[in-house]
Structure 1
Amino acid sequence: MPSGKILFLATVYTHLAAFHIPFMRFFQERGVEVHAAASSAKGHKENVEAAGVICWEIPFARSPYSPANLKAYRCLKDLLWKHRFDLIHVHTPVAAFLGRYLAKITHQGPVLYTAHGFHFYKGAPRRNWLIYYNAERLAARWTDGLIVVNGEDYENARRMGFEPGRNLFYVHGVGVDLSFFGAPSYENAVRRELGLAVTDVVVTCVAEMNPNKNHIFLLNAWKQIATRETHSNNHLLLVGSGELKSYLEEKVKREHIPRVHFLGFRRDVPAILHASDIVTLTSKREGLPRCIMEAMAAGKPVVATNVRGSRDLVDDGHTGFLVEPGDVTGLAAALERLMRDPELRASMGAAGKAKIQDYSLDRVLAEMAAIYNRYLDE
């Protein structure tokens, strides 16, 4: 791989800090100068800078309708006229669209786009198909390589004209560092902190509290379960923060839903997962959810909604259960079945841990290295 300059581009630095620092280090270890460009409005720019990456501020807004993106367009255009990059790797819809167009008109090197979950998908609102699908069809002409992380997006990419092995690639997500999910020497500490007994059954959801993650659906199912006397030793841990946190806390209080613990943002997610018996995710849509991958790495069975991305990971009846979005009774039944059966939890957890080896960070780095080398060699 020749020395040179690489640019990682996303709408917010939060995304780059959470998922792409290992790939930036991959280039740095090979003598490549790594740059990143995004908005720091949500924080975490300092995490990327701490990795030795040259960072640029581009004031993107997540909404494609925001007038702030006009300023972002001008800032990014100015950056790309001043710097020539040997490869640009774009992420997230707004930054990816503007970045691909500007890379072509400023005569940059090849442009790769990782779609972490197209905003058009089976069951998506018609507006999403009209806006995002047509935007991606237009941007296809500026995309040298498209990387997808789930089966549904792979098929949609083929329909847009991308060709497997030529400019369409399937990779196993952003990878999970399995070294964080080894022997759980600290799980009892988490239970002690929360006042939970070793015999309590703990269900955990790790997700930002926004409408898409659908915590209301989960709480409605939990209400069915937790108010039964036979489940008086079951606890629900909600890990994460977000715009709906106050509303959800008020719902729990108003409806007297028992044994729900709001843990907020945590940096010890591996320990929390090891202290859990079951992990759940009730999203309306996903790309390829890392929280499910981490749960499987920790050897936990997963109950998830039957949506793109989640169903790529969860083998229904083997590594966990899939339920239809909105089926409160079905979600409650799936959780209850696992609560009652520790042997089933153990067998499903073991099956998930075996499956997730394919999604390890080492494997994904190897998959991405092959793609990067292909375009840099050209």
Structure 2
Amino acid sequence: MNILFVNNFRSRGGGEEFLRDLLPGLTGKKVSVGLVCRPGTPLTNMFAGTVITVYPISRSGWGALTSVFKIARIIRLGGYEIMNIQRGHDIIQSWIAAFLSRRRPRLIYTVQVPEFMRSRFLLFRMDAVIAVSQYIRDRITSFSPAISSRTSVINYGIDADTFSRSHGKKGFLRSRFGIPAEALLIGTVGDLWKNQIEFLDALVEIRKQRPDARFILVASETAQANVQNFKLRVRELGLQDSVLWAGRLSKEDMRSFYADITLAVTTHRNEGFGIWILEALAMERPVVALHEGGVRDPLEGCPAGVLVNSMKQMADEILRLSHDRPRFEKMADSGPDWVRSKFGRDRMIDNYHSLFKTLSKDSDASPHSTNGKRLNILQIISKNDRYGAQRIFLDQVAILHRMGHNVVVAGRGDTGYVSDSVRTLGVEYHGIPMNGVRDIIFLRQLIKKYPINVMHTTLDRADYVGVILSKMTGVPVVSTMMVPRYHVGFRFADRVVVLSNKQKELLLQKNIRPEKILVIRPGINVERFANPDPEKREAWRGKLKADDYGLVFCHIASIIPRKAHKVSIDLVHECKIRGENPLLIIIGDPLSGEYYESLVQKIADLGLERNVRFTGWTSEIPEILSLSHFTILPSENEALGIVLMEGMAAGTPIIAREGEGGAELIEEYGTGYLFSETRSLGSLAEQISMLRKDSVRYSRLSGHCREIGMERFSLSTFGRRLSDLYGALCN
């Protein structure tokens, strides 16, 4: 892969420190990396002597006009497939340069600050958006839900070993300012627009009990309005001897800063993430922060951090920590492990590399597979509720729309899960009864209006409508077989897409010609499952009490008999008999009716009330899967089981019924275990228990599942195969 980063920031901040860690890590994965930056900035020399190619390009004066042509030439000559834009003011320049290059690289914008709104128009031109925190992602998606499907959260990561306590020169700052070793030294990092002035009143309260308390800032002291107002407030409160300025510090001196402070505070309510917080935690310094902004990502659930709602609470918490030495030391000791496990540099690099890899494949699928032609595609679906087929349909619409095709959707009814979701994507939707001649006439007019190149139908009634329209208009039609059930409409479709080889065999038995049948596995948002929302994950961790259990299963399916929840319950019972403390999480609706009541009764009969939890339907499946060890789907008459693919992308081994579509995932990729009614569930429970106890073997299988999920089940792979199919039919 060839990736060009663009960052024209004039100085050095968290975004530039992030590049310092990310870019060398990517080159270690055989990625060719280039960087466009301003001449004379810290980035110009940051990568001197490395394999990273730096292109200093001026944006001042005449350079502002010529820069787009220079960058276009760099893209063309360097063969760059992907551009990662780091700052909002670089989007227009990069977008124009990408267009002029004639290579059309995939465009990614990494949003590092919440003030992205000035670039909002061009957000829609990005192939992917990366938010450095869930807070920023929420801001983006609240601005436009249509962007949510292409927006991922990838947190910053650092090398925790570089910021270990042993690497800090203790006493450096205390000797510089004459501060005793036992004095309470409270540190913060960031220029004076980050609300530090509000902490001064808290400092007054702290000094009433701890007169030795000092507040030290790593910040510029140059004459700007924020600095002058801050200093004026310091004088008003009589804190001149209690507030210290460290100025801007080098990386080496930052380690000494962390080594000398007692604890760290962050007062910014609108922080994008706060990479320095990770450094402080890694240096065994507890952090107290306002419960606002992107700082929640590194601090929610963190045993070394405290989130508060006001400056008064911040003062109270600091005083409690200063008086409770055992608690302080316990928090300090836990910081490095938290950073290593959640926010390590290698994890950040892996997440970026996976996303780039997906987009690189996506670039092959973009309209090149239809010889550069952007098609007009009519997607027709005959149900508007929320089941697996509808989820696959929506992913299909989303990726084709993202690839630049003009997608129009016709569905049954004007309100419902499908119609609302399609409109959220920014795709044109037409709701019709789908029950008579008037609907056929309307759809025929729609085909003529655009004009439509190809139709794709989902579910039985839509399949019949598509076949009739195809015969009337000559437009080719593709039907997707969502369940292992044959109907005569497949015989008249131009192509039939099946999700598994099991379905293909069924069609062959019905004498459907082999060349008409294509196995195309659906795609999923692999980045979403690889990077669950940390805030929502911690909320589910508490709600489910997941940490109380040694073995967690997740069964995602509608509460209907053919989904075989009783098998999952029996498996949990077998695990419990063998000394495990298992938890079965059942996600799905409805939580009522005869079948649901039979499940509740079975759970009571087996004494599993504490071991089975029903959540109902939730969109927060990635967060729950991130707390699980296995994904199970022992359904009968299952075409494939998209939830098994999602479980693999989340890194959970899977369990499926032998002979069903989901079994193919295990047989092809070796990602889990098969359940068979001819074999004892006890032996399966034994295998699962042994695997979970072998942490090395489990981690290896979990990583293999995640790797297969990322490489084989991405939406881009799905879109490329569909685009190839449509192109072949149109040609």
TM-score by length of 2: 0.43
Aligned residue number for residue 253 of structure 1 = 604
Residues 159-218 of structure 1, C-alpha deviation per residue, up to 9 Å, x if partnerless? 445555x533222x2212221133567355532232232663211111111111110222
Name the counterpart of 1:69: none
**Is the alpha carbon distance of 1:76 and 1:342 closer, same or farther for their aligned partners in structure 2, counting shifts above 3 Å?**
farther
CA distance in 1, matches of 2:704, 2:691: 15
2: CA distance, partners of 1:3 / 1:292: 32
From the superposition, tell whether residues 78 and 316 of structure 1 become closer, same or farther in structure 2 (CA, over 3 Å): closer
Question: 114, 137, 148: which is aligned to 2:498?
Answer: 148
Which residue number in structure 2 is paired with residue 292 of structure 1? 644
User: Who is 2:153 aligned against?
Assistant: none
Q: 1:264 offset after TM fit, Å?
A: 1.2
Task: Decide whether aligned partners of structure 1 residues 28 and 230 sit closer, same or farther in structure 2, where only a CA change above 3 A counts.
Answer: closer
1:92 aligns with 2:466: no
Aligned equivalent of 1:83:
446
Q: CA 1:361–1:274 in structure 2 vs 1: closer, same or farther (change >3 Å)?
A: same
Q: 1:343-368 CA distances to partner (integer Å, 9 max, x unpaired)?
A: 33222222222333212211111111
Q: Which residue of 2 aligns with 1:169?
A: 518
Q: CA deviation at 1:318?
A: 3.5
Query: Offset of 1:113 from its aligned partner?
Result: 0.9
Q: Distance in 2 between matches of 1:329 and 1:318?
A: 21
Residue 32 of structure 1, aligned match among 396, 402, 406: 406
**Equivalent residue, structure 2, for 1:315:** 667
**Is this contact kept in 2: 1:86–1:108, CA < 8 A?**
no
Relative distance call for 1:229 and 1:151 in structure 2 (3 A) is closer
Structure 1 window deviating more from structure 2 (102-111 vs 364-373): it is: 102-111
Q: Is the 8 A contact 1:17 1:45 kept in 2?
A: no
Q: Which AA in structure 2 matches 1:191? A: R
Match of 2:553 among 195, 200, 203: 203
Mapped contact 2:552–2:585 kept (Cα < 8 A):
yes
Q: In the alignment, is residue 51 of structure 1 matched against residue 414 of structure 2?
A: no
Deviates more, 1:45-54 or 1:191-200: 191-200
1:305 counterpart residue number: 657
CA distance in 1 between partners of 2:545 and 2:478 (Å) = 48
Q: In structure 2, list runs of 5 or more residues that go unmatched.
A: 1-371
2:572 counterpart of 1:219: no
Residue 484 of structure 2 corresponds to 118
State the partner residue of 2:241: none
Partner of 1:6: 377
The alpha-carbon deviation at position 158 of structure 1 amounts to 3.9
Supply the distance in 1 between the matched residues of 2:702 and 2:375 (Cα, whole angstroms).
44
How far apart are residue 28 of structure 1 and its match? Answer: 4.1
Is the Cα–Cα contact under 8 Å of residues 444 and 469 in structure 2 kept in the other structure? Answer: no
In the alignment of these two chains, the number of paired residues is: 345
1:32 Cα deviation (Å)?
Answer: 2.1
Contact 1:36 1:53 in 2 (8 A): no
- What residue in structure 1 maps to residue 635 of structure 2? 283
User: Residues 344 and 150 (structure 1 numbering): CA distance in 2 closer, same or farther, change over 3 Å?
Assistant: same
Relative contact order (C-alpha < 8 Å, sep 6+): which is higher? 1
> Helix, strand or coil for the counterpart of 1:175?
coil
Q: Is the 8 A contact 1:213 1:283 kept in 2?
A: yes
Contact 2:483 2:638 in 1 (8 A): yes
User: How far did residue 294 of structure 1 move?
Assistant: 0.9
Measure, in 2, the Cα distance between the counterparts of 1:314 and 1:4.
35
Question: Which residue in 2 is equivalent to 1:269?
Answer: 621
Which moved further from structure 2: 187-196 or 140-149? 187-196
Secondary structure at the aligned position of 2:542 is classed as helix
| Residues 40/283 of structure 1: CA separation in 2 closer, same or farther (3 Å cut) | farther
CA offsets 1:56-112 (integer angstroms, 9 cap, x no match): 33446xxxxxxxxxxx2445323334332432101123332x224322443251000
Whether the 8 Å contact between 2:586 and 2:614 is mirrored in structure 1 is yes
Distance 1:33 1:265, change over 3 A: closer
Offset, 1:41: 7.7
Local SS of the residue matching 1:106: helix
Select which of 704, 710, 720 maps to 1:366: 720
What is the CA distance between 1:3 and its match in structure 2? 6.1
Contact kept, 8 Å, 1:58 with 1:75, in 2: the verdict is no
Aligned to 1:344: 697
Flag the 1:160–1:183 CA change in 2: closer, same or farther, 3 A: same
| Contact 1:5 1:35 (8 Å CA) reproduced | no
Between the aligned partners of 2:405 and 2:532, the Cα distance in structure 1 is 37
Q: For residues 78 and 246 of structure 1, do their structure 2 counterparts lie closer, same or farther at Cα, with a shift above 3 Å needed?
A: farther
1:28-72 deviation per Cα after TM superposition (whole angstroms, max 9, x unaligned): 453625122234686442111222333333446xxxxxxxxxxx2
RMSD between aligned alpha carbons? 3.0
One-letter code of the match for 1:362? S
Partner residue, 1:123 = none
Say if 2:479 and 2:490, in contact at 8 Å, map to a contact too: no
> Take 1:334 and 1:36, find their aligned partners in 2: how far apart are those partners?
47
2:531 and 2:398 mapped to 1: Cα distance?
Answer: 27
Structure 1 residue ranges without an equivalent (≥5): 61-71, 120-131
> CA 1:3–1:275 in structure 2 vs 1: closer, same or farther (change >3 Å)?
closer
CA radius of gyration, larger in: 2
2:706 counterpart letter in structure 1: K
Report the Cα distance in structure 2 between the residues aligned to 1:28 and 1:352, rounded to whole angstroms: 28
Q: Cα distance 1:43–1:353, how it changes in 2: closer, same or farther (>3 A)? A: closer
- Shift of the alpha carbon at 1:290? 1.2
> What is the CA deviation profile of residues 293-338 of structure 1, one whole-angstrom value per residue up to 9, with x for unaligned ones?
1111111111221133211111399421101147544554444344
* Amino acid of the structure 2 residue aligned with 1:204: C
The alpha-carbon deviation at position 251 of structure 1 amounts to 3.3
Name the CA distance, whole Å, in 2 between partners of 1:185 and 1:3: 34
The CA distance in 1 between the partners of 2:500 and 2:405, in whole Å, is: 32
Contact 1:21 1:51 in 2 (8 A): no
The aligned counterpart of 1:66 is none
The 3 A distance-change label for structure 1 pair 352 and 282 is: same
Over 3 Å counting, the alpha-carbon distance change for 1:43 and 1:366 in structure 2 is: closer
